Structure 1
């Protein structure tokens, strides 16, 4: 069964890179432009993994993650937060909202694929 990854980022190029990395490995990729869009896509699709940027307009990554974790329909869905190198010191705060892990931006394509394989097969 094909696994679906939701990529949430206000950068079209970041979303496209993630999709280019994941699709050849058999993943279906759903893209969202911000947290509000991401929540809508969570409700409209069966999402197996979320990869989200931190800083986005309308609803940032943390607000979206909190909303996902507050909705029992999405229990058990792993969430990876993408953060800029300088934000690493703040990661302990983000664990509290329920992130499964994190990756630094700029990310490496093989890192995205490796995390997806590790978390959802």
Structure 2
């Protein structure tokens, strides 16, 4: 059975690039355009990993991570932040919220896939 990864980004082109890379590696992908949309799509199904942008309308990535960690079904789901933010303070905020990895855009799909394969739940 394919593993499912949730991709949260307000940029449809970024979601597309990430989805193509993930689908090419055999993952199922759920796409969401911001944190609120992503939370709506988390309906109890098994999600093995989440990849989220930081700066998004409606609900930003850090708030999304905090909200996900409150949900019993997803408390232990690893989250990768994929963002243009590279300051240490933002990274620390993300880690404090529960993000497991921080990838700065523009990113190499290979770099992202290495993080995915390391963190995706069995």
Say whether 1:7 aligns with 2:3.
no
Q: Which residue of 2 aligns with 1:49?
A: 49
State the secondary structure of the residue aligned to 1:96.
helix
* Higher mean C-alpha displacement, 56-65 vs 80-89: 80-89
Say whether 1:31 aligns with 2:31.
yes
Aligned CA distance change for structure 1 residues 87 and 43 (closer, same or farther; 3 Å): farther
Q: Tell me how many residue pairs correspond in the alignment.
A: 121
Structure 1 residue 46: deviation in Å? 2.0
State the secondary structure of the residue aligned to 2:24.
helix
Q: Which residue of 1 aligns with 2:110?
A: 110
Provide the TM-score with structure 2 as the length reference: 0.91
Provide the TM-score with structure 1 as the length reference: 0.92
Structure 2 stretches lacking a partner, 5+ long: none
Q: Which residue of 1 aligns with 2:17?
A: 17
Q: Which residue of 2 aligns with 1:81?
A: 81
Q: Which residue of 2 aligns with 1:58?
A: 58
Say whether 1:100 aligns with 2:100.
yes
More helix by share: 1
Deviations 1:34-85 (A, max 9, x none): 0001111122532110000000000110111110001111121000111215
* Higher mean C-alpha displacement, 40-49 vs 95-104: 40-49
CA contact (8 A) 1:49 1:79 kept: yes
